[in-house]
Chains A and B, each alone.
Chain A
Amino acid sequence: MSLLPTPYEFEKQYEDDEELATELPDRPITSLRDLQYLYGRLYTLATAGGGEYASYLTPEKSTDLFDEPESLAVLRVDLSGDEPRLDPEQPVQFRTYTRDLVEPVAHSWFNAARGFDHSITHRTGKGKDPEKIAEYLTERLTAWAADDVIQETVTDHEDGWIVEALAELGEQEDIDDRIQGAVEERLEGSTTALTTVAVKLEPDGEYRLPGACGSDVFNVAMRARKRSKLVSKGEATNSAGQATDLVTGSRGRTVGTAEDPLNYFLGKQLEKFPGFDPNEAWRTHPISEDVAVTLMNASTFVDACSYYTLESNVYYLPYFFGRITPEEARELYRMLHDVVVEDDLTPVEKVYKAYNRDEIHEELATRMRFYVAAVLKHQMKRFDVFGDTLDCTLFHPVGLASAHDAVTNSWVFDADATLPHSDVRPAMPTHENWEMLVADEEYLLGSITNGWYFRTTFAEPDDDQTASADDFRIQALVAALSGDPIPASTVLEEYVERLLDDEGEGFPTFRVATQYAQLCALAEAGLLDGEDESLTKATTYTDQSMTHTTDTRARADGGSDREKREAKLELFLEETPALSSENPERRGGFLLGVLVGQVTGYQQVSEGRSTTLVDQYPIKAITDTKVKRLTSDVIDKDVIYSRDKGLPSTMYGEVVDRIVETLPKVDADGGWSIDTSELRYYYALGVAYGMNNWTTSDEPTEDNEATESAEATDD
């Protein structure tokens, strides 16, 4: 549930262009801080109106607790007598946090690992046991009320005595035990809750929550506490000085340790500060107090636009290029609102859906940009950022999804595409359980942005619990989102590593096919980089039908099958730049794979053998030094089967002929120079191709020849 007004309500409220323009930044967005400032402005515009403390509160942080049982833990403090005391009858009360309690609870969240929230109301971590809840409640008195900044602030407030009395109560000797006892009495199991106090100020009065107690002392203290964090954090105690605000460009008092919704800037790492002094942080990172509070308010939107994948947090923040117009601001609000209220889709999917439906948004879509970053958190406050960029467009992931969609719909993958003969299989196998081989563009876009697209094809790191700088999946993800190409050679290394992991349980045909569809899509989308152009160049399987067919005559010896297969192989080689005749090593590896796959298929179907050629020659057996010997072994095997079967010519002659023609070229070119993983990948691709290369007539029926003749006659 969200507290944000609907896009319609927002639009109604800010329908005047001129008025809205005055509220928006007067500069184009050119940095992450600019973007956070814009988000903060939109958030404040949407939610302000709740009084002067509105921009300091963070009601959005706990909407997930609405209507949850035991989601509000209240310490009931009686301040109506001479001495502050816990309510004797019910010192602790558990309630259900509801929407109408937002203002009374007046929560101001603070992103600190071991600190407390700015407001007296503090949100616990997930699923805390009674002991921990009691500790949080006690800290309302001993930590919040007793805090130096808060104490100093309330001294000047007419109702400051309320906070002072709470601190005084916190000093009572056995207060923690009494609170713990009270909590244990009422809470079984664990809960996630806002912990707060309710105070009774009159002897016959009621217990009231901080924001409804009749005084603004709690909010004043909260504001002071929040402001204090702008100048003190970590080792910094008072980081403030006269400088130029890096967002607005105006000169004035700036603070150095403003909270950053993305935590890129913290006071901890002294090395960046002049003279190793965090108090000098404002010199390198000057932000005015107003801007600082606005940046904090960006966190609702920023958090909503992030998701977790591949052990990292991916941020995907939409905006419009240049200086934002009122129309764009309303549009951006709509997007952010939607991302906040529905959390099943990533921001890019939502925007894509909206723009795909609606052609009038074309102009907006052209100016649409995303800030993208993958953040790897090593510890709470030590993390690395990959591929952080402000300039992602919708085009890159959509382009990749659509390229993938096109290739899986081409004759290479799709059995429904027009093939030269109805009994010839597509070049690559597909299966409905392998989504990447059958999915539509929208599904693909989702899997690209949520990380699955590379998770399913790239090598899995040894330790998949810890994010690593070497995790190439993250780099590929960011590349797909930002349009920055990745090295083709690395992609192939990842593929082969994954295949080797898979290989224990039979040859991973569908994995190879999935990877190949992806490889083609990456090339088509311009996302592959490398010196060898034939590897990065797009294939031309764009047609749904094979471009040339052959006149196949009926032949009693099964030769018509050969011609059908040959036409397909020829076309595949022709339309695959990586396998052109100028690349005899890759082509040779592929053809060897085809033959192995083909013979394997024969062994399985006609011989009923459980151990096949592909088991004898797995991917890891293929190296440049062994490839020639393996080839001659495999051809020998093929010849023996042909003889056993009593065929007049060699089985799969169309492959053998090409192998015989191709491999000598490698020596003529000066020997093998191809990378092993490249050789292995194309070998694996060949195996997948060969294993899928059966025709109807390969089925082990007794009247094979008769069927074949009949079919051939039909042609």
Chain B
Amino acid sequence: MDDLIRELLAAHPAQDGALLPILHAVQERLGHVPPAAVPLIAEHLNLSRAEVHGVLSYYHFFRSTPPGRQVLQVCRAEACQSRGAEALLAHAEQRLSCASHSTRADGAVTLEPVYCLGLCALSPALQLNDRLHARMTPAKLDALLAKEGL
């Protein structure tokens, strides 16, 4: 894995402001930013490990541990709330036997709240893996999950 990270780093010159693009590149490839990547990135950018760790942990998007094989993100922001987002999230928790903000023990799925997907005119909305879905209902969610074998 170190080699893979070195390869990614080589593609990102140590210019000013390269840290976020590098973290994105690592997460895109590995699904998360493993702790072992931190010293390599720090060395590459001439930063302290604490600085890299500080950035990594500040942003909600970055993960330090691998997500489940599938990721369900349910929007919890106001426009979605006005059309039943809270009930939808509760339904997802129950249907998947997985608490929000967590990955199920068998590693099959991660459930996360998100704050607005920009689909607010068609709320409630969610994202399952790379696909967006709007005008959601618990029944439609069940059908989607069933199609994905969840």
Same assembly = no
Interface residues of A (CB under 8 A from B): none
